[in-house]
Amino acid sequence: MSIPGDQPFQPPRDAGASAAVFRILIVDDDPALRRTFPHVLANAGRTFDETGSIAEAIDHLERQHYDLVLLDYRLPDATGLALLDWLVEHRRDEAVIIISGEDAIDAAIGALRRGADDYVRKPYHVAQLQRAVDSALHKAALEKANRAMSQRLKASERLHRYLVESSPDLIFTLDSEGRFSYINPRVKALLGYERNNLMRRPFTTLVMPEDVERICTLLAQPSSLPGESFSVELRLRRDRSATHEDDSVTVSLTGIPMQAQGADPRKAGLYGVARDISERKRAEEIISFQAYHDQLTHLPNRVLFKDRLELAIAQAQRRTGALAVMFVDIDRFKLVNDTYGHAEGDALLRAIAARLSATLRRGDTLARLGGDEFTVLLPDINTPEDAEVIASKILEALAAPIMLSQGEYRATVSVGISLFPRDGATAEDLTRHADIAMYQVKRSGKNAFRFFDPALNTHHRERITLENDLRNALGRAEFELHYQPQVSLAQRRIVGLEALLRWNHPVLGSLGPSGFIQVAEELGLIGEISTWVLEQACAQLAQWRTEGHDGLRMSVNLSPFDFDKRDIVSSVTECLERHDVPASQMELEITESMMMNDSAGVAAKVRALRAAGVSVAIDDFGTGYSALAYLQKFPVSTLKIDRSFVRDLEGPMTNPIISAITGIARGFDLDIVAEGVEQAEQAEALQMLGCDIMQGYYFARPAPAAEVRSWLQQPSMVFPVH
């Protein structure tokens, strides 16, 4: 971008430098004398032109700039004074030495008054002429250098003024009393104020009341070192009469104290730069909200509920009080999803969440754990009957039908209740026992509530049976891998497959990981299972490679155990070597919560995997602890957008979140995969938002390797025809 009036900077030239070239014009009507001057004044770096009249001299001067003119006083067409007048009139800066045979002092005085630099009388002494010329050229060089310096200074000032006036940041200076002494035009666009109206007004008039004390403290602090700066985030008021936007703008302010002249240690004022970080703060707030809240209902999630429950337990222990935990499960919710679709199921969840919230007291917490499960914390109860009252209100609140787009629906819930300290002393125990009590209600007919009763704890017996069966599952070859394709809409081909574990239980049928992985982790079996999954996935990928499908990427889910207890890097690389699979075709998926636990250790292993060529993806990105700082710390390669965002694409907050995630991915040069795509509209919307690679039931359900082989041979099978 060019700056009007600006000229390229040139380095200053030393007036006495040997490389300097001086041009000298000799104006004299005596040809012999003209030829003598160059010999008398010869010096390195001097060039001479000569002429015999004023008219010829002007012609030379109009075509060429000279450093010095040696001018005879009397010439055929005029006196040398005429040329002096011409030089003044045309604002020329050539030095002039009059060389004349005039004896009258008036001639010399007149020439000097008209602008001549020196006067040498004929016949001249060579030394005198040489001294006059040397002095004039030295003076001319100094003046030229001074003019160049002045021009560079003005250009620098123009550049600085342009940068400050055009800056996207708010730049200002304050005097020693904290009042504006300068503010750039950005204040109009950012806050709506005319900058002239702010001059001499205190800076604090722009600061929101909650931040005034903090900024006053910073402004009042003495500066121990010249140029010592401070940085602070604060909110500045907007002029509500000039803008219809938010009342304030969040800025990151950097302040640099300006010192008084001399040895005075007091601050003479402050130089400040305020950058608008409102969008970044909004993005951080959204990500923070997602970490602790359910995306569908905006209720606290499992993490926040656990935090509040642990706090309530600690408070109850100090005052020897009691509290209750409720586990609320919607009856026959799967029927709604299967009959009317997930959109209606989501609408039902939101409606039930609203009714449950209306029944609770101030200070109670309602959370959604996921699916059709809610939990309630009642932190202040005196007797079990207090919890009964709330449970009865919940059942009554759902007695009225709920209006869905498909018509009325009458929902019921099963409620399990556990009490502190009777039924447990930890958050885990109280939640688990409330869950057990809820299942007892389910088995007894639903639409009721029940307190935890250890004597009827059939859930524990089922758990023991499941544990025993799980211990024998590997030996009985009951595990199987299914694969779900990851497709590129732009390329219309399968670019990867996610390996998904299935347990073919002899009694319960095919179970997904959610039905047994947590049990496997608690039993210490997860390491063996993960090793089996990795071996099977590598072997299958190697088989497909021999069949000509050598461009696929295999995604394998890892548990926290794999990072905490195993040498995961060597396990993966050795497995890849055994099956002759390139590391670039293996992707390991980790969760956000894994990054939070021993983040330094996990980050080191992620870096080692990436150095070995293995890709690492963050699964269900945006539903947990996602933060920009962790993306800088963990060199992952892929972000997987959680199915909850895909399912709620029409929600008011979802599109901005997905756009933010795709923007983050582009900024960090990461791949993006969207999970849980079930409809053509979702695929089209995601593609519009910048996501090309997707997986979900819309393309294909997870299937055994034999069925996947036909997809690889004919990829069009996974692309529905519109």
pLDDT for residue 1: 37
Mean pLDDT of 255-261: 77
Give residue 2's pLDDT band: very low, low, confident or very high (50, 70, 90): very low
* Element housing 524 (H / E): none
CA 259 to chain centre: 35
Check: CB of residue 260 under 8 Å from CB of residue 267: yes
Which residues face 370 on adjacent strands?
Answer: 373
Judged against a pLDDT cut of 90, whether residue 438 lies above it is answered with yes
Mean pLDDT of 290-295: 89
Judged against a pLDDT cut of 90, whether residue 59 lies above it is answered with yes
Residue of 259 and 493 predicted with greater confidence: 493
* Residue for token pair 């932190």: 379
Taking the C-alpha atoms of residue 156 and residue 216, their distance in angstroms, rounded to an integer, is 34
pLDDT for residue 546: 94
Q: Which two tokens stand for residue 218?
A: 């910073």
CA 474 to chain centre: 45
pLDDT for residue 262: 55
pLDDT for residue 712: 93
Cα-based distances in Å from 264 to 179, 255, 259, 268: 20, 20, 8, 9
pLDDT for residue 440: 86
Q: What is the DSSP letter of 260?
A: P
Q: Which residues lie below 8 Å from residue 622, measured CB to CB, with a gap of 6+?
A: 287, 290, 641, 642, 645, 657, 661
Closest CA to 144 of 80, 221, 92, 89: 92
Q: Which residues lie below 8 Å from residue 198, measured CB to CB, with a gap of 6+?
A: 180, 183, 187, 206
How many C-beta atoms surround the C-beta of residue 120 within 10 A? Answer: 18
Mean pLDDT of 2-7: 42
Taking the C-alpha atoms of residue 548 and residue 550, their distance in angstroms, rounded to an integer, is 6
To the nearest 10 degrees (0 to 180), the angle between helices 278-292 and 654-667 is: 110
Q: What is the DSSP letter of 703?
A: B
Taking the C-alpha atoms of residue 531 and residue 509, their distance in angstroms, rounded to an integer, is 23
- Tell me the pTM: 0.43
Q: Which two tokens stand for residue 700?
A: 């294909």
CA angle 137, 141, 142 (to 5 degrees): 120
Q: Name the region of 656 (left: φ>0; alpha: ψ -120 to 50; beta: rest).
A: alpha
**For the chain, how far is it from start to end, CA to CA, in angstroms?**
49
R_g of the chain computed on alpha carbons: 42
Check: CB of residue 122 under 8 Å from CB of residue 37: no
Check: CB of residue 168 under 8 Å from CB of residue 30: no
Q: Which two tokens stand for residue 322?
A: 């009691």
Tallying the residues shown for the chain, one arrives at: 722
* Element housing 26 (H / E): strand 22-27
Q: Which two tokens stand for residue 305?
A: 């509920």
Give residue 305's pLDDT band: very low, low, confident or very high (50, 70, 90): very high
Residues of the chain with pLDDT > 90, as a percent, come to 47
Judged against a pLDDT cut of 50, whether residue 17 lies above it is answered with no
Check: CB of residue 68 under 8 Å from CB of residue 60: no
The predicted-structure confidence for 123-145, as pLDDT tens digits, reads as follows: 878 888 889 888 888 888 888 88
pLDDT for residue 12: 42
Q: Which of 74-78, 215-219, 547-551 has the lowest mean pLDDT?
A: 215-219
* Element housing 63 (H / E): helix 54-63
Q: What is the DSSP letter of 202?
A: B
The predicted-structure confidence for 184-237, as pLDDT tens digits, reads as follows: 998 888 888 998 899 999 999 899 999 888 888 888 876 555 557 888 889 999
The predicted-structure confidence for 590-614, as pLDDT tens digits, reads as follows: 887 777 665 677 888 889 999 999 9
Taking the C-alpha atoms of residue 164 and residue 616, their distance in angstroms, rounded to an integer, is 44
Q: What is the DSSP letter of 445?
A: T
Q: Do the strands 95-100 and 407-409 form a parallel or antiparallel pair, or are they unpaired?
A: unpaired
Q: Which residues lie below 8 Å from residue 581, measured CB to CB, with a gap of 6+?
A: 538, 541, 542, 545, 554
Taking the C-alpha atoms of residue 68 and residue 468, their distance in angstroms, rounded to an integer, is 108
Q: Which residues lie below 8 Å from residue 713, measured CB to CB, with a gap of 6+?
A: none
> Where in 280-401 does DSSP place strands (E)?
322-330, 365-370, 373-381
pLDDT for residue 627: 56
Taking the C-alpha atoms of residue 652 and residue 667, their distance in angstroms, rounded to an integer, is 24
Taking the C-alpha atoms of residue 104 and residue 88, their distance in angstroms, rounded to an integer, is 24
pLDDT for residue 431: 96
pLDDT for residue 104: 59
Mean pLDDT of 631-638: 84
Closest CA to 631 of 609, 661, 601, 588: 661
Check: CB of residue 706 under 8 Å from CB of residue 688: no
Judged against a pLDDT cut of 50, whether residue 165 lies above it is answered with yes
Q: Which two tokens stand for residue 683?
A: 């695929």
Give residue 376's pLDDT band: very low, low, confident or very high (50, 70, 90): very high
Residue of 142 and 531 predicted with greater confidence: 531
CA 606 to chain centre: 21
Residues of the chain with pLDDT > 70, as a percent, come to 91
Give residue 405's pLDDT band: very low, low, confident or very high (50, 70, 90): confident
Mean pLDDT of 281-300: 87
- DSSP assignment of 639-700, as one string? EEE-HHHHHTTTSTTHHHHHHHHHHHHHHTT-EEEE----SHHHHHHHHHTT--EE-STTT-
Q: Which residues lie below 8 Å from residue 528, measured CB to CB, with a gap of 6+?
A: 474
Q: Which two tokens stand for residue 393?
A: 């209100």
Q: What is the DSSP letter of 125?
A: P
pLDDT for residue 107: 74
* Element housing 557 (H / E): strand 553-557
Taking the C-alpha atoms of residue 231 and residue 224, their distance in angstroms, rounded to an integer, is 16
How many C-beta atoms surround the C-beta of residue 411 within 10 A? Answer: 22
Taking the C-alpha atoms of residue 584 and residue 589, their distance in angstroms, rounded to an integer, is 14
Mean pLDDT of 505-532: 90
Q: Mean pLDDT across the chain, nearest whole number?
A: 86
Phi, psi angle pair for 654, to nearest 5°? -75, -50
Mean pLDDT of 347-358: 95
pLDDT for residue 386: 94
Domains of the chain (ranges; CATH) run 22-162 (3.40.50.2300), 167-276 (3.30.450.20), 287-456 (3.30.70.270), 476-499+527-717 (3.20.20.450)
Taking the C-alpha atoms of residue 630 and residue 625, their distance in angstroms, rounded to an integer, is 9
pLDDT for residue 450: 94
The strand order across the sheet containing 413-420 reads 365-370, 373-381, 322-330, 413-420, 448-451
Residue of 85 and 1 predicted with greater confidence: 85
Give residue 5's pLDDT band: very low, low, confident or very high (50, 70, 90): very low
Phi, psi angle pair for 672, to nearest 5°? -130, 135
Taking the C-alpha atoms of residue 556 and residue 579, their distance in angstroms, rounded to an integer, is 16
Q: Which two tokens stand for residue 359?
A: 């029944």
Q: What is the DSSP letter of 124?
A: P
What SS3 string covers 276-305?
A: ECHHHHHHHHHHHHHHHECCCCCCECHHHH
* Element housing 189 (H / E): helix 186-191
486 SS3 class = strand
pLDDT for residue 13: 45
